[in-house]
């Protein structure tokens, strides 16, 4: 008589333990892929591969750092002086955009912004790759960023148990509008941005939007990463995470 009862109890216990774990399994996984991306976006790499450094052919220099000067003389292929990429205005996605959207759109959820971040940065990397000559040393770097971002997206899109399936939200008008503009093949307005600035935007907004994945000594890391001041300070100190 006791047997079926104990089996039932076991089953119940298993269910109680397994369900919540399965439900939250995506966050650690998401953080893992985001941290891999973060490591690749390390400021040293960004500077080395994305810097608007030398005049093509090595005639002139506009390098801020001594190390870059050496790099520029050694590398035949480099970004031409003040090189810029043509992007849609919506592909310029900075910390300021996040705070602006949060204050403008009442029902905005962090997930909406995360989704936007994924789309925008995939477009941005595609554009940077398009302007790079075939044998450019930065090509490999940019395509590795693309792969890592795709991995983040895959994990991000995995359905989470419960939460998101239950109710379909009406799409938010302002966000829909940005998506449409990002997809508009006949966009008439373009912006010129340096590849480094675009990748810097990606790095900073990633910290702001996925702050749970980047614990910091600061108690309120969300506020911390979303503040422009944090990154200005970082720049001055030449920190690793600037
Ligand atoms: C590059 O940009 C800097 C600052 O924006 C400017 O002073 C400089 O003249 C530019 N160089 C060229 C070759 O366009
Ligand atoms: C970010 O702000 C800039 C300047 O205000 C704007 O041109 C751009 O479209 C905004 N980006 C997004 C994704 O809303």
For the stretch 174-216, pLDDT in tens is 999 999 999 988 888 999 998 889 999 999 999 999 999 998 8
Distance CA 177, CA 32 (A): 31
Minimum-distance ligand to the CA of 83? 1
Pocket of ligand 1 (CB under 6 A): 81-82
Minimum-distance ligand to the CA of 180? 2
* Ligand 2 pocket: which of 89, 98, 108, 209 to mutate (most atoms within 8 A of CB): 89
Kindly report the pTM of this predicted structure: 0.76
Mark out the alpha helices in 132-189 (DSSP H runs). Answer: 138-157, 173-183
Distance CA 7, CA 24 (A): 26
For the stretch 35-60, pLDDT in tens is 999 999 987 788 777 764 454 433 33
In 10 A of CB 160, how many CB atoms? 14
Distance CA 8, CA 185 (A): 59
Going by the DSSP 8-state scheme, the letter that residue 217 receives in this structure is S
Atom number, ligand 1, closest to the C-alpha of residue 81: 13
**Is residue 49 classed as helix, strand or coil in its secondary structure?**
helix
Residues 207-227 as b or e (16 or more Cβ within 10 Å = b) = bbbbbebbeeeeeebbebbbe
Atom number, ligand 2, closest to the C-alpha of residue 116: 13
Of residues 241 and 12, more confidence is placed in 12
Contact 189, 97 (CB under 8 A): no
Distance CA 61, CA 199 (A): 22
Tell me the average pLDDT of the chain: 78
Atom number, ligand 1, closest to the C-alpha of residue 82: 1
191-193 and 85-87: which strand pairing?
Answer: antiparallel
């Amino acid at each position: 008589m006791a047997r079926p009862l104990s089996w039932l109890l076991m089953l119940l216990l298993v269910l109680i333990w397994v369900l919540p774990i399965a439900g939250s399994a995506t966050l650690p996984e998401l953080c893992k892929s985001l941290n891999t991306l973060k490591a690749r976006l390390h400021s040293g790499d960004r500077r080395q591969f994305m810097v608007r450094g030398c005049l093509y052919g090595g005639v002139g220099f506009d390098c801020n750092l001594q190390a870059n000067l050496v790099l520029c003389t050694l590398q035949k292929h480099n970004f031409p002086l003040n090189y810029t990429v043509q992007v849609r205005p919506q592909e310029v996605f900075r910390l300021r955009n996040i705070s602006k959207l949060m204050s403008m759109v009442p029902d905005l959820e962090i997930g909406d912004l995360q989704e936007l971040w994924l789309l925008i940065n995939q477009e941005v990397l595609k554009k940077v790759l398009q302007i790079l000559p075939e044998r450019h040393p930065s090509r490999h770097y940019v395509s590795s960023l693309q792969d890592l971002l795709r991995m983040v997206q895959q994990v991000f899109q995995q359905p989470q148990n419960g939460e998101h399936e239950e109710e379909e939200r009406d799409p938010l008008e302002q966000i829909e509008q940005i998506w449409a503009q990002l997809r508009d093949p006949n966009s008439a307005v373009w912006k010129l941005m340096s590849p480094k600035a675009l990748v810097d935007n990606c790095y900073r907004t990633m910290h702001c939007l996925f702050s749970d994945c980047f614990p910091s000594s600061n108690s309120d890391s969300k506020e911390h990463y979303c503040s422009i001041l944090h990154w200005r300070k970082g720049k001055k100190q030449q920190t690793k995470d600037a």
